[in-house]
Amino acid sequence: MRKLAALSILLLVVLVGVFGVIRVVSGQGPITEGGQQILTQEQDGANLREISAPTGQNGLDAELNIGFIDSPTATCYQPNPNVDACFINWYYLSVTSDPNYMVSLEVTLNDFGKVSRSQGFFQTSMYIPFSMLGNGFQVTCGAQVDRGNPDLVGLGNSYAYTIRAKDTAALSSANYGTVYCPAYIP
């Protein structure tokens, strides 16, 4: 009987140790520039989106509180083909956090820095339609660039962007991508 009890206790200790290690390892990820640990990532071609939390925070519980940013159809358009001026905009930007509140949603064009910052006030989601950003963010269209890719023929400058959201628990979500502008042909 003592052997069975000792074996049961040993098995219980081993299981607790194994599941504890699995829980710690699954919450650890690479560290971002801001000192946050990446909890999860998704990539579609060259576009990347991620959810991160402060280093040391329990990522398993935190991961469920903030969602990925939904930012479909990043577009660069040229309203007047006679002018070397294009505008970058999105159909909409949306992110949710529950039960935490959304603090901010920022758009950064990597060549220019932050171009937009929206702040939340006791709200668990943020939705920014394209019309809220006016015409978008003005950039130069640029001359036609040969990138060696037949899908990118006739395009001018490309701009990398980052969209980052933060909630009251210091969790953040980010989307990274590139948008290509039509070429300016004088």
Highest mean pLDDT among 5-9, 12-16, 169-173 belongs to: 169-173
Q: pLDDT class for 10, splitting at 50, 70, 90? A: low
Of 100, 99, 102, the closest CA to residue 120 belongs to 102
Q: pLDDT class for 93, splitting at 50, 70, 90? A: very high
Which is it for the CA torsion 121, 123, 125, 126, positive or negative? Answer: negative
Quickly list H helices, 42-101. Answer: 59-62
Given a cut of 70, is residue 103 above it in pLDDT?
yes
Q: Span 28-56, mean pLDDT?
A: 70
Say what percent of the chain tops pLDDT 90. Answer: 47
Of 46, 126, 53, the closest CA to residue 92 belongs to 126
For the whole model, what pTM was predicted? 0.71
Instruction: Write down all domains in the chain, each with its CATH number in brackets.
Output: 31-182 (2.60.40)
The Cα 118–Cα 49 span in angstroms is 19
Q: Span 134-159, mean pLDDT?
A: 90
Helix and strand counts by DSSP (H, E) for the chain: 2, 11
pLDDT score of 12: 59
Q: pLDDT class for 32, splitting at 50, 70, 90? A: low
Which is it for the CA torsion 100, 102, 104, 110, positive or negative? Answer: positive
Return the higher-pLDDT residue of 46 and 93: 93
Q: Span 26-40, mean pLDDT?
A: 62
pLDDT score of 62: 45
Q: Span 81-95, mean pLDDT?
A: 96
Q: Span 129-149, mean pLDDT?
A: 92
Is 61 in a helix, a strand, or coil?
helix
